Amino acid sequence: MRPGRQPASSARTCAVFPGSFDPITNGHLDIVARALSVFGRLTVAVLVNVEKLPLFDVEERVAIIREVYRDEPRVTVDRFSGLLVDYAEAIGASVIVRGLRAISDFEVEFQMALMNRRLNPRIETVFMMPAESYSYVSSRLVKEVFQLGGRVSDLVPAVVERRLSEKYGTPIKSARSPVRRKG
Ligand code: ADP
């Protein structure tokens, strides 16, 4: 820490967890829980990304996440566009939380963190690792598995499974569905 810089009490620190969340998974929930064990308040911020073609639009993603955290007053759900550091500063967040699943996440996250530091050195990026059981979970994989008829109930909150079922028009696979084998 540079001389003259006061350590912030993390319990009073507001952090922001940005991402696409298309849709939110239990891996994201794991990171939110870890962030709440360190920081006082957390804003889950859905990126309005014009380049990506999302399954759920921003309003749907925000509504889903709000439903997941409706009983958690320390979590705020919002949307943002433009520079993340500008958004963080505007909402009074001094920490950006990101999840690191594997080494493959590292390079791009490292670049982004250094760029954000260059853009605004007052905002610190903190990486958190999920439980091993979520280290292979991604929104993309969840969508693919669900679409192909696989069970995702251990990987996403119930509301997401419901919304996936509505979106694709396919039923939710129950835990007891028999595995069909040929012959
Ligand atoms: P982005 O498009 O910003 O990567 P994502 O919704 O895919 O948006 O991810 C948002 C953040 O959550 C990223 O920091 C990502 O590394 C993290 N994340 C995604 N899935 C998991 C997971 N299973 N475990 C831990 N972190 C995750």
Least confident of 58-62, 127-131, 144-148, 179-183: 179-183
Residue with tokens 């791009």: 108
Cα 140 to Cα 28, 70, 79, 144, distances in angstroms: 13, 25, 20, 6
Name the band, by pLDDT with cuts 50, 70 and 90, for residue 183.
very low
Question: How confident is the model over 145-152, as a mean pLDDT?
Answer: 94
State phi, psi for 147 to the nearest 5 degrees. -60, -30
Distance 169 CA to ligand 1 centre (A): 26
Name the band, by pLDDT with cuts 50, 70 and 90, for residue 9.
confident
Residue 74: closest CA among 100, 111, 37, 112: 37
Atom of ligand 1 nearest to the CA of 137: 23
User: Tokens at residue 52, please?
Assistant: 């990506």
Atom of ligand 1 nearest to the CA of 22: 6
At 43, which amino acid appears?
T
Catalytic site residues?
28, 52, 101, 139
User: Tokens at residue 144, please?
Assistant: 């693919």
Distance 28 CA to ligand 1 centre (A): 6
Q: What mean pLDDT is reported for the chain? A: 91
Q: For 100-147, how does the pLDDT look when each residue is reduced to its tens digit (9 = 90+)?
A: 998 878 999 999 999 999 999 999 999 999 999 999 999 999 999 999
User: Tokens at residue 27, please?
Assistant: 């891996």
Q: For 12-39, how does the pLDDT look when each residue is reduced to its tens digit (9 = 90+)?
A: 999 999 999 999 999 999 999 999 999 9
Answer yes or no: are the C-beta atoms of 43 and 123 closer than 8 Å: no
Sheet bearing 75-80, strands edge to edge: 75-80, 41-47, 14-19, 95-99, 124-128
Neighbours of 141 (CB within 10 A): 14
Neighbours of 161 (CB within 10 A): 19
CB of 23 within 6 A of ligand 1: the answer is no
- For a ligand 1 pocket test, name from 16, 20, 21, 28 the mutation site with the most ligand atoms within 8 angstroms of its C-beta: 28
